């Protein structure tokens, strides 16, 4: 099985081949992927490496979009989303043009690199801007489906890729929350996001909860959540980025119903440890054992 | 809307419609003569077809103080003179910074400094990728705006990429906090741009400097005006 970032390179290279309107803009990081695929050689006028210049990377994407092209902008998450955030706000949103931003690194992929390479706040940041579609796939097949869809659209899309992934794909269409496990008498609905699904399923195996899966978090599929909540309007969110990022979206779905929410995610702390992504996932309570503990406590009302 | 009865001499009056000042000398707005020369003699743009694919693109990166820009757009028929007195009002399309979504013929929304040149580089790359003939991309900045590091990312890259449809105009009213020792043009020249420095009030000199030939490199025109 390939990784999600490998699938991204494969699919983006195919899209460059099939659509003369597609461009890829990078700032060194990720350029090798397109050199290896041959896309850089075949489409040197549309695979643009601006050097280590992230403000320019986003500015170039804006200018290409203003000319009607469909830029895919790619880098490590903090350099893609945080470093030139005003360029995202003004160069894309304010100009009323679109692009597809594809990040790697997530919240803690390169845990040993330290804080500079960790980006748990990316989804929350983009959530402050209007009109963004945000995909958090958990499997390479989902990456392919969501990326092809995002590039075929003309709006502002963010596709967040991590190194950790699920065993099997679940999402079959963009934007729709899937039912993974429907409990006959659920006491809560657990919404697992992207690469955390396998941990969540393992963690709540013996708990009376329904498990849903979201590979797209903006727009948030409130209709499916609402339908599955039925008579148990208690929700546990499990997100692989900043805790609480989608809590307001869930509250909006349930604004007319008394409900409880437990929003699990990456804690908003400066976590000064190195090690591996798996270790950081566990440190934030997002592995199976951590999810089991948190959901158990939520059901117990503590 | 008429394009035949208004001219350069009307610009001060049109600007007064926005500012309320009795008299408005051209010197009060650093960009006035450059923007006028562009729209009067350089840019291939048509108010009747402001989105034509072959048009020249004018990116006003230095978006603050847009009265001269709006006045020129009114003279050239992109916006109605009757819109000017309402500028910056709630229902007006004319804000303190231009918005491309609200004004036909305005290529970018600007306001925050240091965004336009990088976007202009992207537009030039897209036009090159399309093999579009003509279609210059002209970006107007200020010498104070050059303080923003984003410009220097764009300056370095644009020349390496050989973007010869790109022209940067820097209005130099010596407002950069720490100055540009040796001149603004050196920041471009060292990266491989063609450069010229002219009097920013001299229409003939501006016309000559802005009438560039494509020679494989972008061009920077430093338009020097009165000290701010």
pLDDT in tens, A206-223: 999 999 999 999 999 999
- Do A152 and A10 lie in one domain? The reply is yes
Mean pLDDT across A231-253: 95
Are B123 and A94 an interchain contact pair (Cβ–Cβ within 8 Å)?
no
Q: What is the pLDDT of residue B213?
A: 83
- Do A148 and A246 lie in one domain? The reply is no
Query: Which residue in A60, A65, A71 is closest to B118 by CB distance?
Result: A60
Q: What pLDDT digit, counting tens, does each position of A92-133 carry?
A: 999 999 999 999 999 999 999 999 999 999 999 999 999 999
- Do A208 and A237 lie in one domain? The reply is yes
Query: Given pLDDT bands bounded at 50, 70 and 90, which one contains residue B26?
Result: low
Q: What pLDDT digit, counting tens, does each position of B179-200 carry?
A: 999 999 999 999 999 999 999 9
Q: Is residue A134 part of a domain?
A: yes
Are A69 and B126 an interchain contact pair (Cβ–Cβ within 8 Å)?
yes
Is the pLDDT confidence value at A236 over 50? yes
Q: What is the pLDDT of residue B65?
A: 83
Where in chain B are the domains?
8-224
Q: Which residues of A touch B117 (CB under 8 A)?
A: 59
Is the pLDDT confidence value at A261 over 70? yes
A50: domain CATH number? 3.40.50.970
pLDDT exceeding 90 applies to what percent of chain B? 89
Mean pLDDT across B36-44: 98
Q: What is the span of the domain harbouring residue A194?
A: 178-300
Query: Given pLDDT bands bounded at 50, 70 and 90, which one contains residue B20?
Result: confident
- Do A12 and A153 lie in one domain? The reply is yes
Q: Which residues of A touch B99 (CB under 8 A)?
A: 94
Q: What is the pLDDT of residue B197?
A: 98
Is the bond leading into B20 cis (omega within 30 degrees of zero)?
no
- Do A78 and A214 lie in one domain? The reply is no
B35 Cβ contact list (under 8 Å, min separation 6): B60, B68, B69, B72, B140
CA A136 from centroid of its chain's CA atoms: 3
Q: Which residues of A touch B121 (CB under 8 A)?
A: 56, 59-60, 63
- Do A32 and A147 lie in one domain? The reply is yes
Which phi and psi (to 5°) does residue B55 adopt?
Answer: -65, 160
The CA angle A23-A99-A252, to the nearest 5 degrees, is 155
Better pLDDT: B213 or B34: B34
Task: Provide the token pair at A54.
Answer: 């992230």
**Interface with chain B: mutation pick from A60, A83, A84, A89, highest number of B CBs within 10 Å:** A60
Closest CA of chain B from A146, distance in Å: 25
The CA angle B169-A23-A73, to the nearest 5 degrees, is 85
Distances (CA, A) of B109 to A227, B38, B64, B93, B189: 42, 19, 11, 12, 28
Is the pLDDT confidence value at A182 over 60? yes
Q: Is residue A19 part of a domain?
A: yes
Q: Is residue A172 part of a domain?
A: no
Mean pLDDT across A225-241: 92
Count of domains observed in chain A: 2
Are A56 and B115 an interchain contact pair (Cβ–Cβ within 8 Å)?
no
Mean pLDDT across A175-194: 96
Q: What is the pLDDT of residue A231?
A: 75
Is the pLDDT confidence value at B28 over 80? no
Closest CA of chain B from A96, distance in Å: 7
B179 Cβ contact list (under 8 Å, min separation 6): none
Is the pLDDT confidence value at B37 over 80? yes
pLDDT exceeding 90 applies to what percent of chain A? 97
**A positions 18-77 inside 8 Å of B (CB):** 23, 25, 45-46, 48, 50-51, 53, 55-56, 58-69, 71
Is the pLDDT confidence value at B25 over 70? no
CA distance B146 to B185: 11
The total of other beta-carbon atoms located within 10 Å of residue A248's CB is 12
Query: Given pLDDT bands bounded at 50, 70 and 90, which one contains residue B9?
Result: very high
Domain end, chosen from A132, A160, A188, is at A160
Q: Which residues of A touch B120 (CB under 8 A)?
A: 63
Contact by Cβ (8 Å): B112, A90:
yes
Which phi and psi (to 5°) does residue A252 adopt?
Answer: -65, -35
Reduce the DSSP state of residue B114 to 3 states and report it. Answer: coil
Query: Given pLDDT bands bounded at 50, 70 and 90, which one contains residue B106?
Result: very high
The total of other beta-carbon atoms located within 10 Å of residue A9's CB is 21
Query: Given pLDDT bands bounded at 50, 70 and 90, which one contains residue B23?
Result: low
Question: Which residue in this structure is represented by tokens 């986003």?
Answer: A58
**Interface with chain A: mutation pick from B61, B116, B125, highest number of A CBs within 10 Å:** B125
CA distance A188 to A207: 9
Mean pLDDT across B195-223: 96
Q: Is residue A275 part of a domain?
A: yes
Mean pLDDT across A10-23: 98
Domain end, chosen from A125, A160, A195, is at A160
Task: Provide the token pair at B45.
Answer: 């743009």
Q: Is residue A270 part of a domain?
A: yes
Looking at every residue in chain A, the average pLDDT score rounds to 97
Q: Is residue A259 part of a domain?
A: yes
Is the pLDDT confidence value at B1 over 80? no
- Do A196 and A68 lie in one domain? The reply is no
CATH of segment(s) B8-224: 3.40.50.970
Query: Given pLDDT bands bounded at 50, 70 and 90, which one contains residue B3?
Result: very low
Q: What pLDDT digit, counting tens, does each position of A49-100 carry?
A: 999 999 999 999 999 999 999 999 999 999 999 999 999 999 999 999 999 9
Query: Which residue in A63, A86, A94 is closest to B122 by CB distance?
Result: A63
Which H or E run contains A158?
A: strand A156-160
Closest CA of chain B from A59, distance in Å: 4
Is the pLDDT confidence value at B133 over 70? yes
Q: Is residue A59 part of a domain?
A: yes
Instruction: Report pTM.
Output: 0.97
Instruction: Tell whether B101 lies on the interface with A, counting CB pairs under 8 A.
Output: yes
Mean pLDDT across A14-34: 98
Are A67 and B157 an interchain contact pair (Cβ–Cβ within 8 Å)?
no
Looking at every residue in chain B, the average pLDDT score rounds to 94
Are B118 and A55 an interchain contact pair (Cβ–Cβ within 8 Å)?
yes
CA-closest candidate to residue A72, choices A37, A24, A143, A8: A24
Is the pLDDT confidence value at B24 over 90? no
Q: Is residue A61 part of a domain?
A: yes
């Amino acid at each position: 099985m390939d990784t999600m970032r490998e699938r991204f390179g494969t699919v983006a290279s195919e899209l460059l081949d099939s659509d003369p309107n597609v461009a890829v803009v990078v700032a060194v990081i990720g350029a090798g992927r397109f050199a290896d695929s041959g896309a850089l050689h075949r489409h040197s006028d549309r695979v643009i490496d601006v050097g280590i210049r992230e403000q320019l990377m986003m500015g170039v994407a804006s200018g290409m979009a203003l000319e009607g092209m469909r830029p895919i902008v790619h880098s490590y998450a903090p350099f893609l989303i945080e470093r030139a955030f005003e360029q995202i706000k003004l160069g894309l949103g304010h100009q009323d043009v679109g692009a597809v931003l594809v990040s790697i690194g997530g919240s803690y992929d390169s845990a040993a690199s330290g804080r500079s390479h960790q980006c748990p706040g990316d989804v929350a940041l983009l959530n402050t801007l209007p009109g963004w579609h945000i995909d958090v796939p958990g499997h390479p097949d989902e990456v392919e489906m969501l990326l092809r869809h995002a590039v075929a659209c003309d709006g502002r899309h963010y596709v967040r890729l991590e190194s950790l992934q699920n065993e099997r794909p679940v999402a079959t269409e963009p934007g729709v929350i899937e039912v993974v496990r429907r409990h006959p008498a659920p006491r809560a609905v657990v919404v697992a996001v992207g690469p955390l699904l396998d941990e969540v399923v393992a963690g709540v195996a013996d708990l009376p909860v329904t498990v849903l899966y979201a590979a797209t978090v903006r727009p948030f599929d409130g209709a499916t959540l609402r339908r599955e909540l039925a008579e148990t309007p208690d929700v546990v969110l499990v997100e692989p980025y900043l805790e609480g990022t989608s809590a307001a979206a869930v509250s909006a779905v349930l604004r007319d119903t008394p409900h409880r929410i437990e929003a699990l995610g990456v804690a908003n702390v400066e976590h000064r440890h190195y090690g591996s992504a798996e270790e950081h996932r566990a440190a934030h309570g997002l592995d199976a054992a951590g999810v089991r503990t948190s959901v158990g406590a939520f059901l117990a009302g503590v | 809307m008429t394009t035949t009865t208004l001219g350069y001499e009307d610009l001060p009056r049109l600007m007064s419609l926005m500012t309320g000042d009795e008299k408005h000398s051209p010197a009060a707005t650093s960009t006035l003569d450059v923007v006028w020369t562009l729209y009067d003699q350089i840019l291939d743009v048509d108010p009747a077809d402001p989105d034509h694919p072959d048009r020249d693109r004018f990116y006003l990166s230095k978006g603050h103080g847009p009265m001269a820009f709006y006045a020129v757009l009114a003279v050239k028929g992109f916006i109605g003179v009757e819109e000017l007195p309402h500028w910056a009002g709630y229902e007006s399309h004319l804000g303190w910074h231009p918005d491309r979504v609200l004004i036909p013929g305005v290529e970018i929304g600007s306001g925050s400094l240091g965004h336009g040149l990088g976007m202009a580089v992207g537009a030039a790359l897209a036009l090159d990728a399309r093999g579009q003939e003509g279609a210059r991309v002209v970006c107007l900045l200020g010498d104070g705006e050059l303080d923003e590091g984003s410009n220097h990312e764009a300056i370095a890259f644009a020349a390496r990429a050989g973007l010869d449809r790109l022209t940067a105009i820097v209005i130099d009213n010596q407002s950069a906090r720490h100055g540009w020792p040796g001149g603004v043009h050196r920041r471009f020249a060292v990266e491989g741009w063609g450069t010229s420095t002219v009097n920013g009030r001299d229409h003939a000199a501006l016309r000559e400097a802005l009438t560039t030939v494509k020679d494989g490199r972008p061009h920077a025109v430093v338009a020097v005006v009165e000290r701010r």
